Structure 1
Amino acid sequence: MIVFFDLDGTLTDPREGITRSIAHALERMGVAPPPLDDLTFAIGPPLRHSLAQLLADERRETVEQALAHYRERFADVGLFENVPYEGIAETLSALRGAGARLFVATSKPLVYADRIVRHFGLDSHFESVHGCELDGTREDKRDLLPYILQTHALRSEDATMIGDRGVDMRAARVHGLRGIGALWGYGSREELLEAGADDLADSPLALRTKLIRPHHA
């Protein structure tokens, strides 16, 4: 069993750190930020796209400037305004005990993703952590998944992608992975199903039940 896990909204809840860092970036760009609750749509998808939407400006130089302001706060403060979801560590441990090979597959830059996974003590469960480069290379999950498959000589038909957003399910579908939507995150049931999710899980415990055969439970 091979399982790819998204990070934000699947392994950990980064709501405070991401929304506050986006608000910081908008303020630095001279744009009044909306209420933090209105920024949760940006948790999960590639951040450049969300910043362009919030700024109503898709020019690369503008988006990159906003991203630099976001990272001013996120790299030292927002990174750890974050918490693992209840039951996720136990689910990862059970999957490893059942012989699963686990990988992190996130649109977040690897330099941040690796620090977060280690900070919360989740790194021992994973064979490897994969994210994008700071310049945006492989921030689209449709580019990231084949990179992981090739790097570790894995077969897509043996793998499952766990994520809370449509981008996770679409990438899984494109590359022939089973996709299970994490309903405890930020994507809705409708978003996940419309993106092609093969199944949905209400909680990390429910996910464990779906992935582990009864004789492993």
Structure 2
Amino acid sequence: MKTVDNKKTIIFDLDGTLLDSIEDIAISMNKVLESLNLQTHSIEDYKYFVGGGVDVLVENALGNQTNQIKDEVIKRFKVEYDGKMHSKTLPYEGIYELLDELKKLDCNLAVLSNKPHEFTVTYVNHFFKDYGFKEIHGQKQSLPKKPNPKAAIDIAQALNTPCENIFFVGDTKVDMQTAKNAGMIAIGVLWGFRDEQELSEFGADFIVKTPLEIVDIISNK
């Protein structure tokens, strides 16, 4: 029987939590919509379209369209947003300072995103390669998406850490629901795509305005 790992463990969402990627997502999707003579949307709109994976993003952007058109948009979006480093996607202010502090504390770090898995791995390895993320998981065909807790629980098992000792950090109701469904501690962040009301309504145990507040929370638990 394995010994339980008593290190502090934090699972981060990616888009809207670690990375400010909304402009590049919007530009890529609008380019696809324009190519099909479909209505485009503002960056503010996209803040409410994202969080559920590519299929939900497309569903939100298209509204009432045929499955054939939706499938075509998904295909074209994945080509347009193909995992290359987009120029406007960067870590939020204070994220590197947060990760520096968590590294000093020798925390287990993981990422769980509804962004396609290959894109998630590419972005984490590009921006955060120095921080030793032990588990990096994006959307995979073999696993249900957040807010289903399966992938989060799999990460807990891989790190040999009880779910109730894990902090799950995200910016949307999907992340708060995932944390609650997995029996983890939910930390909602206000620099991402949604507001305090949404995070509170869907179960945030803590809500933070700046990244370094997360260090105080985990240090005092």
TM-score under structure 2 length normalisation: 0.86
Aligned residues of 2:16 and 2:170 also touching (Cα < 8 A)? yes
Give the structure 2 partner of residue 19 of structure 1. Answer: 26
Amino acid at match of 2:57: S
1:124-173 CA-to-partner distances (Å, cap 9, x unmatched) read: 3411211112x484333423212322333331111110000000001111
Matched, 1:45 2:52: yes
| CA distance in structure 2 between the partners assigned to 1:125 and 1:183 by the alignment | 25
Aligned residues of 1:23 and 1:36 also touching (Cα < 8 A)? no
| CA distance in structure 2 between the partners assigned to 1:58 and 1:26 by the alignment | 12
| CA distance in structure 2 between the partners assigned to 1:147 and 1:61 by the alignment | 34
Amino acid at match of 1:138: P
Amino acid at match of 2:181: V
Give the stretch that moved more between structures: 88-97 or 72-81: 72-81
Q: What percent identity do the matched residue pairs reach?
A: 27
Residue 188 of structure 2 aligns to a residue in which SS?
A: strand
Aligned residues of 2:11 and 2:111 also touching (Cα < 8 A)? yes
| CA distance in structure 1 between the partners assigned to 2:208 and 2:142 by the alignment | 30
Q: How many residues align?
A: 213
User: Displacement, 1:183?
Assistant: 0.8
Give the structure 1 partner of residue 102 of structure 2. Answer: 95
Shift in CA distance, 132/58, structure 1 to aligned 2, threshold 3 Å: farther
Give the structure 1 partner of residue 145 of structure 2. Answer: 139
Matched, 1:75 2:78: no
Match of 1:173 among 168, 180, 200: 180
User: Displacement, 1:123?
Assistant: 5.0
Match of 2:197 among 160, 183, 190: 190
Give the stretch that moved more between structures: 68-77 or 172-181: 68-77
Residue 204 of structure 1 aligns to a residue in which SS?
A: coil
1:107-136 CA-to-partner distances (Å, cap 9, x unmatched) read: 111211111112223453411211112x48
Which ranges of structure 1 fall in alignment gaps of 5 or more residues? Answer: none
| CA distance in structure 2 between the partners assigned to 1:34 and 1:88 by the alignment | 28
Shift in CA distance, 33/80, structure 1 to aligned 2, threshold 3 Å: same
Amino acid at match of 1:12: L
| CA distance in structure 1 between the partners assigned to 2:26 and 2:142 by the alignment | 20
RMSD: 2.2
TM-score under structure 1 length normalisation: 0.88
Aligned residues of 1:159 and 1:178 also touching (Cα < 8 A)? yes
Aligned residues of 2:83 and 2:119 also touching (Cα < 8 A)? no
Larger fraction in helix: 1
Shift in CA distance, 148/57, structure 1 to aligned 2, threshold 3 Å: farther
| CA distance in structure 1 between the partners assigned to 2:117 and 2:184 by the alignment | 22
User: Displacement, 1:72?
Assistant: 1.9
Which ranges of structure 2 fall in alignment gaps of 5 or more residues? Answer: 1-7
Aligned residues of 1:107 and 1:139 also touching (Cα < 8 A)? yes
Shift in CA distance, 128/5, structure 1 to aligned 2, threshold 3 Å: same
